[in-house]
Amino acid sequence: MTQKLSAARYENPLGESGRNRLFVELAAQGHRILEFGCATGFLSRHLVERGCKVTGVEIDAEAAEKAKEWCDQVLVTDLNRQDWVGKLTREYDTILFGDVLEHLVDPEFALQEAAKVLLPGGRVIICLPNIAYWKIRVSLLMGKFEYTSAGTLDVTHLRFYTPETARKLVEESGYRILSTYALMGGGKIGNRIRRIFRGLFTVQVMFVAQVRESTSGGE
């Protein structure tokens, strides 16, 4: 899979439930939003329609151009660079990392730098895929580990997390977690079984967090 992959491949409708609906509902509680990995602005649009002002950050220049229709500003940059935070000001009450950190060489650094542009009392909302989801485990038992163009085994993923190691990443980056949401899969499998074996059936885990007071503003 050597061809250039467009960020447009991540576009998904909001739907009545699921990851995108929850992500937007949580984010829309804020007003000044910084969305890392905004892609074409398909989620930024819903935030703007709810009265939010959104600044997008995107590595794909073509996708970023489309996102400008909804975002007040779109910064085209690679979060693996060390200088991106200097291009932003401290004016955001909500920062979004929606399935972004797993694409980075140093996700802990990105979270720490993001604290520098987050207003006091602001929130960071983070979503990460669960590598321990049951379908991935079954594939490994069968000797398969095949990358795809999107999803948990996205070919551009550099990091893999379980719900526990995802929590550890957030906390060790200087944040305290306010709430956690396990986004469940499993199709027709009963909710009781999913609750008992939560780690198996969690497709993605979402955190709402704040900077710990001692590290606020990146100090």
pLDDT digits (tens, 9 = 90+) for 37-68: 999 999 999 999 999 999 999 999 999 999 99
148-188 tens-digit pLDDT: 888 899 999 999 999 999 999 999 999 999 999 999 875 65
Q: What is the pLDDT of residue 5?
A: 72
Q: Is residue 139 part of a domain?
A: no
In the prediction, which pLDDT does 3 show?
54
Structural domain includes residue 85: yes
Predicted TM-score (pTM) of the model is: 0.88
The arithmetic mean of pLDDT across residues 118-127, rounded, is 97
Q: Is residue 21 part of a domain?
A: yes
Dist CA 172 CA 163 (whole Å): 14
In a domain, 39, yes or no: yes
Q: How confident is the model at residue 200 (pLDDT cuts 50, 70, 90)?
A: confident
Asked if residue 194 has pLDDT above 70, the reply is no
In a domain, 62, yes or no: yes
Angstrom distance (rounded) from CA 98 to CA 103? 11
Q: Which domain covers residue 72, as residue numbers?
A: 15-128+161-184+203-211
Residue 40 domain-assigned?
A: yes
> How many domains would you assign to the chain?
1
Euclidean distance between CA atoms 138 and 6, whole angstroms: 29
Angstrom distance (rounded) from CA 15 to CA 18: 7
Residue 59 lies in a domain: yes
Quote the mean pLDDT of the chain: 89
**Positive/negative CA dihedral, 78, 84, 87, 88:** positive
Residue 123 token pair: 């929130």
CATH code of the domain containing 23: 3.40.50.150
Q: Answer whether residue 25 is part of any domain.
A: yes
Measured distance CA(108)–CA(111) in Å, rounded: 5
Residue 32 has pLDDT above 90, yes or no: yes
